[in-house]
């Protein structure tokens, strides 16, 4: 099929037989290429350097495999990615096993990786040293940030596999030394998902509330049994190291055997050679504490008795140098008697001094001096009023003139002066002024006010609104008033 497809494509360049060449769709050619590549390269092993590693939300891992001359796309499906013993990273040299295939949607070929392993321990050690130097430069391993372990933690959090022998060794050792409340956060300690689970467990313990239903640990232990460098690689991942360095809870690293070293050992507050050693570092021996407390109690009682005897002897020695209480009280009583004798004489002297001062003040308040003072003030007041009186008279005269002028102006503007000129004021029964004839109806009682008095009248007939007078003809007064009278 592939040979026929290629022949068909090449025959299209022949001008003579181009019209008779077989036609293929793009899908047919892509399918033929896919089958040919998969048949020819059904299983291959490729040694290459990883580049552009990307973990998709679906769990698949996409990357490029390259050497110094060529680049090839690669993909590791979710099921195979979960079985990897390390986290693929850019720049890591690996050996991939799988098959080659094509991706018709982009006209590219790629390798489907079923198994991936580092290209020897040397590559892993080089990557480990590079990552160690990078994290150390950021200060994650600085001893100044190490936190002291609590002497006797109430709650201990353990991050490890719940089914392995590690957790049983830790619990057994804690029970023998000093039983404590232990909370286990179960994680996988090997594989692709191990690093994220371990980091999430450390962060989860730190995020627990102080007063929650589950008590927050005072100490954390991250533990795993021994294994190869590939088996322990999860504890070299950056996410785990950063979580350990950022932990507010003191953390003990107990990964592998005594000869095994991972990056979490440098970020932890204390490294234990084994998980059992971590349990021994976490708590003291209860029997030793009881013996120490009992011994300190015996020593305390002995020192207490010796101190009491010493203080008693010192008190007796000091008491010999103290004066008699009778002598101390006798001096105070003598001084009190002296003061009691001086007190009456002092009161008499003060009374005499105050009496003499009062008599002097009374002598200065004679009736004749008061009369002279009153006469002087009266004379002073008369002089002041004599100076002010002319000003007051002129001011009052000016105010009177202004008041007379205002009265004359008010009288000239009064409506009574209008009545003197022959006009009349009409008021209705309630006393309101009537300005228009349309406001009155037949039979209404009104009052007409003239300049010399007021007359009551009755409206005989109604009247339409008075027309506006014309300039060419003047109406008589009887026409203007209508039928009011």
What DSSP string runs through 223-246?
EE----TTTTGGGGSHHHHHHHHT
pLDDT at 7: 44
CB atoms within 10 A of CB 272: 22
Domain 2-126 in this protein, CATH class: mainly beta
Given a contact cutoff of 8 angstroms between Cβ atoms, the answer to whether 68 and 53 are in contact is: no
End-to-end CA distance of the chain: 135
Cα 197 from Cα 243, distance rounded (Å)? 11
Report domain extents, the chain: 2-126, 133-146+153-284, 286-316, 413-463+477-485
Cα 370 from Cα 407, distance rounded (Å)? 52
Which stretches in the chain have pLDDT values below 50? 1-13, 16, 464-466, 472-485
pLDDT at 301: 93
- Please report the DSSP string for 372-424 in residue order: HHHHHHHHHHHHHHHHHHHHHHHHHHHHHHHHHHHHHHHHHTSHHHHHHTT--
pLDDT at 366: 66
Q: Number of C-alpha atoms within 13 angstroms, CB side, residue 351?
A: 6
* 170-194 per-position pLDDT tens digit: 999 999 999 999 999 999 998 878 9
Structure tokens at 124: 């892993």
Structure tokens at 79: 């099921």
pLDDT at 10: 45
Cα 234 from Cα 198, distance rounded (Å)? 9
Q: What is the DSSP letter of 258?
A: T
Cα 137 from Cα 17, distance rounded (Å)? 70
Q: Number of C-alpha atoms within 13 angstroms, CB side, residue 205?
A: 29
Radius of gyration of the chain (CA): 60
DSSP-assigned beta bridge partners for residue 251: 220
3 state DSSP class of 110: strand
pLDDT at 121: 56
Burial label, 21 (beta-carbon count in 10 A; 0-12, 13-18, 19+): middle
Helix ranges restricted to H, 180-230: 194-207
Distance of CA 427 to the CA centre of its chain: 80
Dihedral angle sign, alpha carbons of residues 257, 259, 262, 267: positive
Burial label, 35 (beta-carbon count in 10 A; 0-12, 13-18, 19+): middle
Q: How far is CA 250 from CA 28, 150, 206, 225, in A?
A: 63, 8, 10, 21
pLDDT at 177: 93
Element (H, E) at 358: helix 325-363
Domain 133-146+153-284 in this protein, CATH class: alpha beta
pLDDT at 71: 87
Cα 443 from Cα 457, distance rounded (Å)? 10
Given a contact cutoff of 8 angstroms between Cβ atoms, the answer to whether 411 and 417 are in contact is: yes
Given a contact cutoff of 8 angstroms between Cβ atoms, the answer to whether 196 and 239 are in contact is: yes
Cα 309 from Cα 446, distance rounded (Å)? 127
């Amino acid at each position: 099929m592939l040979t026929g497809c290629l022949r068909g494509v090449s025959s299209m360049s022949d001008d003579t037989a181009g019209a008779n060449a077989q036609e293929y769709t793009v899908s047919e050619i892509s399918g033929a290429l896919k089958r040919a590549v998969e048949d020819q390269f059904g299983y291959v092993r490729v040694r290459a350097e990883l580049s552009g590693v990307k973990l998709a939300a679906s769990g698949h891992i996409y990357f490029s495999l390259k050497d110094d001359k060529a680049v090839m796309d690669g993909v590791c499906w979710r099921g195979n990615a979960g079985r990897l013993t390390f986290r693929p990273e850019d720049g890591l040299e690996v050996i991939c096993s799988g098959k080659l295939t094509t991706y018709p949607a982009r006209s590219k070929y790629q390798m489907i990786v079923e198994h991936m392993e580092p290209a020897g321990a040397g590559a892993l050690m080089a990557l480990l040293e590079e990552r160690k130097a990078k994290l150390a430069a950021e200060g994650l391993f600085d001893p100044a940030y190490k936190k002291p372990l609590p002497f006797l933690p109430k709650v201990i959090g353990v991050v490890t596999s719940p089914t392995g022998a590690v957790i049983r060794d830790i619990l057994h050792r804690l029970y023998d030394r000093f039983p404590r409340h232990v909370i286990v956060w179960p994680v996988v300690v090997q594989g692709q998902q191990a690093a994220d689970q371990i980091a999430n467990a450390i962060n989860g313990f730190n995020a627990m509330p102080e007063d929650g239903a589950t008590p927050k640990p005072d100490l954390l232990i991250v533990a795993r049994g021994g294994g190869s460098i590939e088996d322990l690689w999860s504890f070299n991942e950056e996410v785990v190291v950063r979580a350990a360095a950022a932990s507010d809870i003191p953390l003990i690293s107990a990964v592998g055997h005594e000869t095994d070293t991972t990056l979490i050992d440098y970020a932890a507050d204390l490294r234990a050679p084994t998980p059992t050693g971590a349990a021994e570092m976490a708590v003291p021996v209860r029997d030793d504490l009881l013996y120490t407390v009992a011994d300190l109690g015996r020593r305390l009682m002995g020192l207490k008795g010796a101190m009491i005897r010493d203080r008693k002897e010192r008190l007796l020695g000091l008491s010999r140098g103290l004066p008699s209480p009778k002598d101390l009280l006798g001096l105070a009583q003598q001084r009190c008697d002296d003061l009691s004798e001086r007190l009456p004489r002092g009161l008499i002297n003060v009374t005499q001094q105050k009496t003499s001062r009062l008599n002097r003040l009374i002598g200065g308040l004679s009736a004749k001096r008061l009369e002279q003072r009153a006469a002087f003030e009266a004379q002073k007041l008369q002089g002041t009023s004599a100076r002010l009186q002319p000003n007051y008279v002129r001011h009052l005269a000016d105010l009177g003139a202004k008041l007379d002028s205002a009265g004359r102006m008010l009288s000239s503007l009064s409506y009574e002066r209008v009545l003197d000129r022959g006009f009349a004021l009409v008021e209705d029964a309630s006393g309101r002024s009537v300005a228009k004839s349309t406001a009155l109806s037949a039979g209404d009682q009104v009052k007409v006010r003239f300049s010399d008095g007021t007359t009551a009248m009755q409206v005989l007939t109604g009247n339409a609104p008075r027309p506006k007078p014309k300039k060419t003809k003047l109406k008589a007064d009887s026409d203007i008033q209508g039928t009011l009278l």
